Amino acid sequence: MSGALAVYACCVVVLCLKMLAISCYQGYFRLRFLTFVNAEDAAVFKRSAQFEERPEVTRAMQAWRNDLENIPMFFALGGLAVAFDASASMTAWLAGIFTVARVAHTVTYLARLQPWRTLSYGVGVLCVIGLAGVVVERFFTIGG
């Protein structure tokens, strides 16, 4: 297994676990306060459905939606970089930095920490652009 593939695979696992953690975070606050917007969920606990989610749940939903706007691009471009045998060191560095940036983004989003949230978001975007660059460069190098 190439070094880039190993780093990419590790990053994919970390990002998937991070997204799962956000879902658990939402569930924790729903269960802690027994507040649910779905009537069938509230009924299990003999509660009435609430009109809106708790603020912690809403905030986590926003972080999750942001992940869905960014992480799939990383999965695709990182996978292409590995498949095209792009620069292993560049691919590994970009994948690692992207992953750290996305974890930092989630932490700073939930903690309401600016400008760190925006900075971590920007670093992640630059990594995705970098991965696109190494894929395109490799495509033209191999005679695409």
Q: Name, in order, each residue with C-beta under 8 angstroms of 122's C-beta and a sequence gap of 6 or more.
A: none
CA 55 vs CA 26, 35, 45, 73: distances in Å: 10, 11, 20, 28
Name the H helices within 1-115: 3-33, 39-44, 55-83, 88-111
User: What CA–CA distance (Å, rounded) separates 142 from 144?
Assistant: 6
**Entry pTM:** 0.92
Q: Judge whether residue 7 has pLDDT over 80.
A: yes
Q: Judge whether residue 143 has pLDDT over 80.
A: no
Domain range 3-15+55-141, CATH class = mainly alpha
3-state DSSP call for residue 46? coil
User: What CA–CA distance (Å, rounded) separates 50 from 144?
Assistant: 55
Note the pLDDT tens digit of each residue in 67-118: 999 999 999 999 999 999 999 999 999 999 999 999 999 999 999 999 999 9
